Structure 1
Amino acid sequence: MTEDRPNSTRAAALIPFFTVVMIWGSTWIVIRHQLGVVPASWSVCYRFVVAGVVLQAVAMIRRERVTRDAAFWRFAGWLGVFQFVLNFNFVYRAEHYITSGLVAVVFALLLIPNALLARLFLGQRLGRQLAVGSAIAMAGAGLLFVQEARADPTATDRTLIGIALTLCAILSASSANVMQATKTAARYPMIPMLATAMLIGATLDGLWAWITTGPPVFDPRPGYVAGVLYLGVIASSLAFTLYFRIIRTIGPAKAAYNGVIVPVIAMLLSTLLEGYRWSPLAIAGAALAGVGLVVALSARRPAR
């Protein structure tokens, strides 16, 4: 009966879930083209200035008010640090060393710390079916990893540095993900809280960029400007609002499965835009990732 279906198989969760997957599947290519003239930290800063301002405007239009007490500022501050400072600075720097496809594949590991931290801080058990789905999906991600690593087998040192930076990003993002499933997060309206966290993050990004790379640098080329706007409005303002609501609905472990499918979408887009050619290994990895997703999302949340 429909009332026995888990939340993760309902349209209210599936539609935003796959919307986020499609959006974030495209960001890796866009981020790649943000590198070069503008230091990574300044690009991150511009992205979240745009995102924070847009969400603040939305909150004002919707007349969403929030009590900005000490707990609010503390929560928004830590969310800004974990999600919008550490996570993205690590990701942008990782793409200096390894391909965007490999960064996306490594990011599939997000489901592991999300599940562990949810168990540790929220008391959420993984459950047998979710564990099976995770194992299948990670096997697929492993095949995709091998495929991407083979693309440049000579750059061992650079590959290791890029992977290490991506793992740091994963831990930062996972901390922010689990924060969204707490009772503290539920106390505040999503949009004004996210806007505040993004603007705090952008301020810290700007300070870090100035300290480490000097005064602001901007690339006036239409491609760079369009990339900042896309990453700020679509990939941040819209996608994070949807994603954090997904976390509150189905939990951080299941929500992290977007990271398993995102590399597949990134590779499909690379096929269309960059001439990427699929190998049998990549096809098998994508298939396993899809099967693992179906198994995991159909699992019921176990009792605490």
Structure 2
Amino acid sequence: MIGEKPRSTRLRVLVPFAIVTLIWGTTWIVIRDQLSIVPPSWSVAYRFLLGGATMLVWAAIRREPLWLPRKGMLFAALLGLMQFVLNFNLVYRSEQYITSGVVAIVFALLLVPNAILSRIFLGQRMGRQLLAGSAVAIAGVALLFIHEARLSPVGPEQAITGIALALCAVMCASTANVMQASETSKAWPMASVIGWAMLSGAMIDAAFAWGVSGPPVFEMRIGYIAGLIYLGVLGSALSFSLYFALIREIGPAKAAYSSVAIPVVAMIFSTLFEGYRWSLLAAAGAVLVLGGLVIALRARRPNR
């Protein structure tokens, strides 16, 4: 309707959008702390074992059916493979080569494959205003990337390896995003789908971890355990529930704008807890990112 506000500017969208951005903006620091004694694949497996169990408990509380039909279980397993196995194993490994800030910035590019895949498989067009916001935001991301690249202590080979792993993770995450926006996904309760996706992903993660890193390793350090709970419950169960709901509400392209704002949030928290120092380049990038975000979220979804 003419004059009606876009869905993406309503509180039922803005509030979960802000929560997801805030939580995922802090997970990069927590993930970095997880990369010490425990091999990355085991940390990923523990995270989604906890996240999946949390989701199924939530589904039971909501009295939603816990067991999905065969087609639903296969869908959940494929979603788990793309989102909770390939995506996160690649993310954790990329942080072994480059800083968490650079990984977060690479993930800001998620809106590009999300928009392309949404157009191909869902028939969703971006529209001029959304394209304009994307262009402004990507310009900001480029400035943030240049800033982080200048500060990076690693050599070019390590940087290229880390960025390549992060880009592969972005493509896996984008595939999962479009799966969640499909009509097939809407046939079953979201909490149950996410729960089984995380649990099936955790089982694959565990098998992979055992194959490449040997038997389970766990660090009995308070910081590691607290970080695991934070990543499993808030960073996974809560955040993915809200994020996938946003995908269904406003589409994968707009929902991916949380990944554009996340680097800015990550840099703010790094300033508070890691002594991160802002430069004029980084500040300009942050302003462009936030400006592009505002432009994009105010765009109406065009007709298919």
1:44·1:205 contact (CA, 8 Å) conserved in 2? yes
Greater CA drift, 215-224 or 55-64: 55-64
Q: Which runs of 5+ in 2 are unaligned?
A: none
Query: How far off is 1:152 after superposition?
Result: 2.2
The alignment yields a C-alpha RMSD, in angstroms, of: 1.2
Structure 1 Cα separation of the partners of residues 291 and 200 of structure 2: 39
Superposed displacement of residue 193, structure 1: 0.9
Instruction: State whether residues 80 and 197 of structure 1, in contact with CA within 8 Å, keep that contact through their aligned partners in structure 2.
Output: yes
Match of 2:203 in 1: 203
SS in 2 for 1:180: helix
Runs of 4+ in 1 over 2 A off after TM superposition: none
In the TM superposition, 1:154-303 aligns within 5 A as 155-303=155-303
For residues 125-136 of structure 1, the aligned pairs below 5 Å read 125-136=125-136
Q: Deviations over 1:270-300 (max 9, x none)?
A: 0000000000000000000000000000000
How much has 1:60 moved relative to structure 2?
A: 1.2
Aligned to 2:62: 62
* Alpha carbons 2:180, 2:247 under 8 Å: kept: yes
1:123 aligned partner = 123
Asked if structure 1 preserves the Cα contact closer than 8 Å seen for 2:139 and 2:288, the reply is yes
TM-score normalised per structure 1:
0.98
Separation of aligned partners in 2, 1:177 and 1:154: 31
- Equivalent positions of 1:84-99 (< 5 A) are 84-99=84-99
Give, in whole Å, the separation in 1 of the partners of 2:150 and 2:16: 34
The answer on whether the counterparts of 2:8 and 2:297 sit within 8 Å (CA) in structure 1 is yes
Alignment of 1:12-31 (within 5 A): 12-31=12-31
Q: Displacement of 1:177 after TM fit?
A: 0.3
Report the identity percentage. Answer: 58
Change (3 A) 1:168 1:60: same
Counterparts in 2 of 1:34 and 1:132: CA distance versus 1, 3 Å: same
**SS of corresponding position for 2:38:** coil
Matched letter for residue 162 of structure 2: G
Aligned residue pair count: 304
Moved more, 54-63 or 171-180: 54-63
Q: Counterparts of 2:154 and 2:99 in 1: how far apart (Å)?
A: 13
SS at match of 2:148: helix
Contact kept, 8 Å, 1:66 with 1:188, in 2: the verdict is no
